[in-house]
Amino acid sequence: MFEKPFKLGIISPERVVFSGDVAAVSVPGTSGGFQVLRSHAPLMSSLEVGRITVKAVDGTDMHYATSGGFVEVRDNVMVVTVETVERADKIDVDRARRSRERAQERLAKHAEDIDIVRAEASLLRAMNRLRVAERAS
């Protein structure tokens, strides 16, 4: 058990995804992943597609797939504002597989009307969702 928790909020445009005391949080920063513990120096960072891992005060881990966003840490409060986020045990794996397949098909076609950047981003998000879901199971 951890004795020195800090406050965490994970917020998406639709809702507050998580709010409570935690022992540690790992996030996918755009300059590299990093972990936050109590008494972390103040910071702001952008996030990329990846996994957010929350270590609860009781030592259990919660994993989330995110498509990016921002994080602010100040005075033992961490706020993670994300574009999209899904808890690992709530990810629809079949839907993520279908999304990955659609993106792969778009990229394989090389058609002029295909937005390559958008298809690559879709593929990256789908693969991340699958990785996060598989790791949690």
Q: What pLDDT was estimated at residue 27?
A: 98
The architecture of the domain spanning 93-136 is Up-down Bundle (1.20)
pLDDT in tens, the chain (137 residues): 556 899 999 999 999 999 999 999 999 999 999 999 999 999 999 999 999 999 999 989 999 999 999 999 999 999 999 999 999 999 999 999 999 999 898 888 877 777 888 889 999 999 999 999 987 76
Cα 96 to chain center, whole Å? Answer: 15
Q: Kindly report the CA angle at 62 between 14 and 135, in degrees rounded to 5? A: 110
CA distance 54 to 101: 30
pTM above 0.85, yes or no: yes
Helix (H) or strand (E) holding 102: helix 93-109
The architecture of the domain spanning 6-88 is Sandwich (2.60)
The structural domains of the chain, with segments of one domain joined by +, span 6-88, 93-136
Residue 44: exposure state from Cβ atoms within 10 A (0-12, 13-18, ≥19) = exposed
